[in-house]
Amino acid sequence: MSDAPVLLSRDGAVALLTVNRPDKLNALNREVLEHLYRAFTELRAATDVRCAIVTGAGDKAFVAGADIASMRTLTTAEAKAFADLGHRVGDLIESLPFPVLAAVNGFALGGGCELAMACDLVYASDKAKFGQPEVNLGVIPGFGGTQRLSRRVGVGKARELVYTGDIIDAAEAHRIGLCEAVVPAAELQAHVRKVADKIAKKGPLAIAQAKVVMRRGDPSLPAANELEAQAFAMLFGTADQQEGMAAFLDKRPASFKGA
Ligand code: COA
């Protein structure tokens, strides 16, 4: 298998993107995000794509979050640029004229949960786990999680997940509306492919308009996402952010001081 950070393949009208960093549970660093952006831009330029699927390489993770090692030393300005890049990927997915389906094959945490939620439909393997555990690191979701989670599961449940950092299993994610269906791990890719094939046979102009209308019906999202990116960036350089990320990398619990 290629060692490119994002693998892009086509089968007829359906495109498959695989985040390919399995040794780091497909964590999103700048390079992976840039490759994702480039891959989706390439698909936007193709006139014959009717549906895309995003998944993670390996059997453990969809995407276990933004890359903590590379975030650890970011300044506020660098963190803002990183959040902006994550948002650009999510916005691009939402602006494509065809649906994007997330095939969540394992951990979808932090930026992974955010990537899945930027997709139109989310399908989970029974081994998948979801969560926004950023508060364990002294920061908050920075790629749209504070906004898209409440739009999917309601504001109370979203607050609970963001404030506690709890990680939930696929059945609970389905119960609260975070994913559309849960299927046995071995059947996930075939199931998502079946949905993609079904969508690909519909009128592409109608699908594109359905997507645009359902997205523009929520005009507050871009401003709310900008607010989130600023708050995310502001937390960088605090002692708590440095402690939270150092503790993760040192494999020990964090001790926060509120500073
Ligand atoms: N960023 C960078 N590296 C990550 C990562 C992330 N978000 N998630 C996992 N990794 C790395 C680990 O550091 C480890 O690297 P190493 O082998 O060089 O030590 C490797 O991926 C495997 O992860 P590990 O933690 O050993 O696997 P696990 O099965 O014990 O735990 C998780 C799996 C998902 C529970 C755990 O990796 C985790 O909590 N990840 C971070 C989740 C998170 O906070 N995401 C939000 C980030 S904003």
Exposed, middle or buried, 7 (CB in 10 Å: 0-12/13-18/19+)? middle
* CA of 24 relative to ligand 1 center, distance in Å: 6
- Token code pair at residue 119: 């997709």
Tell me which residue has its CA closest to atom 16 in ligand 1.
24
At 105, list the tokens: 């094959």
pLDDT of the residue at 218: 84
- The whole-number average pLDDT for the span 2-9 is 95
Torsion, Cα 83 54 36 74, to 10 degrees, reads 30
Q: 97 C-alpha to center of ligand 1: Å? A: 34
Three-class secondary structure of residue 210 per DSSP: helix
Determine if ligand 1 sits within 6 Å of the CB of residue 114: no
Q: Are strands 167-169 and 129-131 parallel, antiparallel or unpaired?
A: antiparallel
> Which residue's alpha carbon is at the smallest distance from atom 44 of ligand 1?
133
Check pLDDT > 90 for residue 108.
yes
Which tokens in the block code for residue 14?
């359906």
Catalytic residues: 114, 134
Average pLDDT over residues 97-112: 98
Ligand 1 atom closest to 165 (CA): 44
Distance CA 125, CA 103 (A): 8
Pairing of strands 107-109, 61-63: parallel
What pLDDT was estimated at residue 171? 98
- Decide: 69 in ligand 1 pocket, CB within 6 A: yes
d(CA 259, CA 257): 5
For residues 150-180, one letter each, b for 16 or more C-beta atoms within 10 angstroms of the residue's C-beta and e for the rest, the string is: bebbeeebbeebbeeeebbbbebbbebebbe
Which domains are present in the chain? 6-186 (3.90.226.10)
Between the CA of 199 and the centroid of ligand 1 the distance, in Å, is 34
d(CA 46, CA 40): 10
Write the DSSP string, 227-238: HHHHHHHHTTTS
Looking at every residue in the chain, the average pLDDT score rounds to 97
The tokens describing 161, both together, are: 């997940």
What does the pLDDT look like over 186-230, one tens digit per residue?
999 999 999 999 999 999 999 999 999 988 788 899 999 999 999
Residue 189: closest CA among 2, 87, 14, 55: 55
64 CA distance to ligand 1 centroid (A)?
A: 6
**What is the structure's pLDDT at 2?**
86
- How many A from CA of 200 to the centre of ligand 1? 35
pLDDT at 57 over 80: yes
- For residue 106, count other CB atoms closer than 10 A to its CB: 27
Q: Collapsing DSSP states into helix, strand and coil, what is residue 53? A: strand
Question: What per-residue confidence (pLDDT) applies to 202?
Answer: 96
Task: Give the ligand 1 atom nearest the CA of 141.
Answer: 48
Q: Is the pLDDT of residue 1 over 80?
A: no
- Whose alpha carbon is nearest atom 8 of ligand 1? 64
For the segment 7-25, the average pLDDT, to the nearest whole number, is 97
**Going by DSSP bridges, is the β-strand pair 121-125/129-131 parallel, antiparallel, or unpaired?**
unpaired
Mean pLDDT of 235-254: 96
Name the percent of the chain lying above pLDDT 90: 96
Q: Which atom of ligand 1 is nearest to the CA of 137?
A: 44
**Of the candidates 119, 118, 97, which has an alpha carbon nearest to the alpha carbon of residue 208?**
97
Question: Could you tell me if the CB of 107 is within 6 A of ligand 1?
Answer: yes
* Residue 119: HSE in the Cβ half-sphere, 13 Å Cα cutoff: 29
pLDDT in tens, 147-172: 999 999 999 999 999 999 999 999 99
* Separation between Cα atoms, residue 107 and residue 117, nearest integer Å: 14
User: For 72-94, what is each residue's pLDDT tens digit?
Assistant: 999 999 999 999 999 999 999 99
Ligand 1 in reach of 67 Cβ (< 6 A):
yes
- Residue 256 pLDDT grade (very low, low, confident, very high; cuts 50, 70, 90): very high
